[in-house]
Every structure is written in C-alpha cells, then in structure tokens.
Amino acid sequence: MYPENIIAKFQEQFSKEASLVVRAPGRINLIGEHTDYNDGFVLPAAINKAIYFAISPREDEICNVYAFDLNSSDTFSISSIQKSDKSWANYLIGVVDELQKAGQKIKGFDLVFGGDIPLGAGVSSSAAVETGLAFALNQLYDLGLETMQMVKIGKAAENNFVGVNCGIMDQFASMFGKKDAVIRLDCRSLAYQHFPLSLPNHTVILCNSGVKHSLGDSEYNTRRLECEEGLSILSGIYPNVKSFRDLTLTMVEEAKTSLSANVYKRCVYVVGEIDRVIVACEALEQNDLETFGQKMYETHDGLQHNYAVSCEELDFLVDETRNDDAVVGSRMMGGGFGGCSINIVEKSKAEDFLNRIKKAYQAKYHKELVTYEVALTNGTELI
C-alpha cells in the first residue's frame, strides 16, 4: 500500500513524476518518559510504521501540499509565511519557516504525504512529518544539512510554529533510528549511543486505548512548568544543582517541605526515571530482558501516581499484563492521557495475549482494542 499509493497520488495530483520519495518512521520509546525536556535520558527506537513523502521542486515560491490520509490540500508561499487554518499544514509550514530562519535558500515544492503511523497513538506522526520534510528539502535543494541540524529544525517547527513545547526525542528517534536497536539519547548534551535490542523470541506490541490525547493540551505544559518550579527551588537549596541530572532521590526527599505536593511528586518521578533508563541500558548490555521489563513497570507506576499523566484505560491495559508470564514488561507510552501501552511479549504466546487482552478490554470498556505489532527499523531515509 505505502509508498506506492503516495507516488500514484502525486502523479495524479500534479501530472508529473515525483523527484524523490522519502520515508520518515514513527517511534516508540521503551523507557524514559517526560525526561527529554528535563535534561534526562530517553530510550526510543524508530519503527516500521512511517510517513512517506513524494516531492518535486518548483521554480516559484508556491508550496502545494496534499495530505493523503486526510484527503486535504493546502497552498502557501515561502515568501509570506503564516499559520494555516488546517492544523496539519502547520507542521510543514513550520519546517519551511525554520529552514528560512536558519538562512537556508529554498524555493517552492509540490508534495503528497501520508502513511501508516496510527494517529493519536503516541508514536509521533507529527515528528515524522517534520523530519521527513526537512530531510526531503535538504535532498531536493542540496542544503548540506547534517542529521542533527534537521532534528533541531523539526523540533523548533513544533515549538515555535505549531506551539507544542515538545522535547527533542521524537524528531531524534525518527532521524537516528537503527534496525534492531534502541538509542539512548542524553537530552542535556545530545550525545547518543545505540544499544542492541533484536528480540529474537519476543515482539513489541502496542495496545491503543482509543483515548485521544493532544499534546497541545494544557496538562503537558503544566507538567513542564511544575518541573521548572521544582528545579528552581531545588537549585536554590543545593547550589551545585543545574539540572535534574544533578539530583538524587535523597536530596528531593530532604527538600520535600520546600516543595508543593504536586511539584514534589513530579521531581520524584523525573529523578527516578533518569536512573531507570541507566539501569535499563545496563540490563540490555547483559541481555537481561527481565530487569528491563521490571523497569518498564516501575516507569508506568511513576507516570500513574507521581507524574499523574496516565488514565484509567491505560492503567487497565498495564494491570492486565502484570500476571501474564508471556509479558516481560508493559507501560503507558508517550505524553499520556491516552494513546498506547507498549508491551514486550513472547512471540510464541503473542496470539493468546492479544486474544485475551482484546476480550478483557471489550468487556470492560465496550470498545474494540486496536493493537499494532512493530519492529525496530532505520531512521528517515530516501527510498
């Protein structure tokens, strides 16, 4: 289906062949949630669900863009950048805006894009749109951008133009992904390291709660503000503390009376989660999936109780796995308030697991549980 239908649609829409076709994957995050904007570590991977771009350059300043999955088109000019009333188009316009702000000279383009990344499932379709377009324009106009520059342009587009205060993880994973590997990204220094996760006997299954969340929601920005407040108070108490990386749980505990109840809980979660990623990576190096899975459960508990970004449906999905010996680890994934749980499941028992959890979800919430089996793949690339 993809990318053939994107290529065919481009030809139909613009009566010409696309100059190039790009694949930009979605991502999962195995562990390290809400740590990216707190100078922590994250452990994402690119997956075999992607957005595909068919694109050709133009000689003028007009950009004609068509969203295949929404059957919707928009047109804008690179010389008069302004927000579109079509929210999907702003992810693209934001990338063009950031490229121009960075002094890059581009012209207009014709574009059709779409893919099989499930929307609202927390696997970062928006980041794939941003990195995919940045990558395509870099190729199309020979801009000579390095991968990390394109990552930063994608992030800046979402921060400055779309108005979502996201961290850098999603765009980074979409660009730097590697088959059968996860990436530990240090969100403070942007240093990164790949860790093998080939899973010969296990598979990664996402269970979509069907609860819609929007990161533009105030809750996401509220958590960021609570973390900033906590760090500001803690660095006043401990002069050597510049970021959450400099804190231990003991230090947060000692300063508890200086923090509001909510801010204390957020700090406990972030400091604990930074530590969990380090322990989880050590477990991967030892090929110790059991410890890795245990850390996933600890992350979920922290997100549920201390960071307060889970929801009843996600908690149900994770709780359903706790006594299932086919499941190594499970947790909610993404910004929260909906989206998917991520599960590492024994391949030989995956079918039984899916049948059981779908039945349980249907019985409890009277709706079908949509699931996705995903594999770890390479990052954004030319097809």
Q: Which residues are catalytic?
A: 170
Residue identified by tokens 């959890």 is: 357
Angle between helices 87-101 and 147-156 (to 10 degrees): 130
Q: Where are the alpha helices (DSSP H) in the chain?
A: 4-14, 87-101, 125-140, 147-156, 169-176, 218-237, 249-254, 261-285, 289-305, 312-319, 350-365
Closest CA to 106 of 61, 157, 53: 61
Distance set, CA 270 to CA 101, 118, 279 (Å): 33, 28, 14
| Tokens of residue 126, six digits | 């928006």
**298-312: b (≥16 Cβ within 10 Å) or e:** bbbebbbebbbbbbe
User: How far is CA 383 from its chain centroid?
Assistant: 22
- Collapsing DSSP to helix, strand or coil, 77 comes out as strand
Residue type at position 186: D
Cis omega before residue 25 (within 30°)?
A: no
Residue identified by tokens 């010389």 is: 79
Query: Is 341 in contact with 317 (CB distance < 8 Å)?
Result: yes
Closest CA to 200 of 129, 283, 287: 287
Cα angle value 246/248/253 (rounded, 5°): 130
Query: Is 290 in contact with 253 (CB distance < 8 Å)?
Result: no
> How many angstroms separate the CA atoms of 233 and 227, rounded?
10
User: How far is CA 155 from its chain centroid?
Assistant: 11
> How many angstroms separate the CA atoms of 354 and 361, rounded?
11
Distance set, CA 49 to CA 46, 119, 181 (Å): 8, 11, 16
